Amino acid sequence: MTALRALSAAAAVWPLLAQDYSTLRRNMVRDQIERRGVRNPAVLDAMRTVPRHLFVPKGLQNAAYDDSPLPIGFDQTISQPYIVGAMTQMLEVTPRDRVLEIGTGSGYQAAILSRLAKEVYSIELVPQLARSSAALLRDLGFLNVTVKQGDGYLGWPEKAPFDRIILTAAPPEIPPALIEQLGRGGRLVAPEGVSYQELVIIRKDASGVVRRETSFAVRFVPMVPGSK
């Protein structure tokens, strides 16, 4: 009895075979993402190929393709797959784009963007997460991603302007520096708000006029003021 219990406990944390993960990944895209209306073929393709289980803690790999966010340490989470798919589709990334991400976390969203964009710049506040995601992205060959440790409220002025900007932590209001660093014809997608959050899409047209619209309600970790 105890042996059996020990065995089933072991099975829960035992990693699956690579082919099992790819089956789980295909099912995730079909059932959680396509079925809920994400149709952009490039986004779906990226989500079918990026090995999400390598971006979650080892003991949670078997849950990597579940329909939920997962903890990645330091009180942070990797977003639910559907949210990654929906936000990436809203961002309308093209292969010419230079993209800024705020909140690298596990590096998973950056890896998805890496497949769609020319270059990805990603800022992470927590030094350990910045280091580990940079190393993982490099080891897995996502070579067009540059991660730096820093405060996302400031953006990355040396690399601006950006064609696309995505925030994966929620500020009370979209930081003005980020709107400034958005290029003309650019687009920013972010969760915004404190107790109630919703996804915001900001567009800057060819003459620099900024327009804002909102989409559905979400729950993200807060974007922490970095320069305290």
The minimum distance between CB 43 and ligand SAH, in angstroms, equals: 14
The minimum distance between CB 113 and ligand SAH, in angstroms, equals: 9
Q: How far is CA 101 from CA 3, 29, 53, 189, 222, in A?
A: 47, 22, 21, 10, 15
Would you list the DSSP string of 96-121? T-EEEEE--TTSHHHHHHHHHSSEEE
Q: How far is CA 18 from CA 63, 85, 99, 214, in A?
A: 14, 22, 30, 39
Residue selected from 97, 151, 163, 192 as contacting ligand SAH according to rule CB under 6 A: 151
**8 labelled catalytic:** no
Residue selected from 29, 70, 91, 126 as contacting ligand SAH according to rule CB under 6 A: 126
The minimum distance between CB 71 and ligand SAH, in angstroms, equals: 10
The position carrying tokens 């589709």 is: 89
Q: How far apart are CA 116 and CA 113, in angstroms?
A: 5
82 binds ligand SAH (CB under 6 A): no
Whether a cis peptide bond, with omega within 30° of 0, leads into 172 is: no
88 binds ligand SAH (CB under 6 A): no
81 binds ligand SAH (CB under 6 A): no
CB 146 within 8 A of CB 162: no
175 binds ligand SAH (CB under 6 A): no
Site residues (CB under 6 A) for ligand SAH, limited to 12-71: none
**Catalytically annotated residues:** 79
Binding residues vs ligand SAH (CB under 6 A): 76-79, 102-103, 105-106, 108-109, 123-126, 129, 151-153, 168-169, 221, 223-224, 226
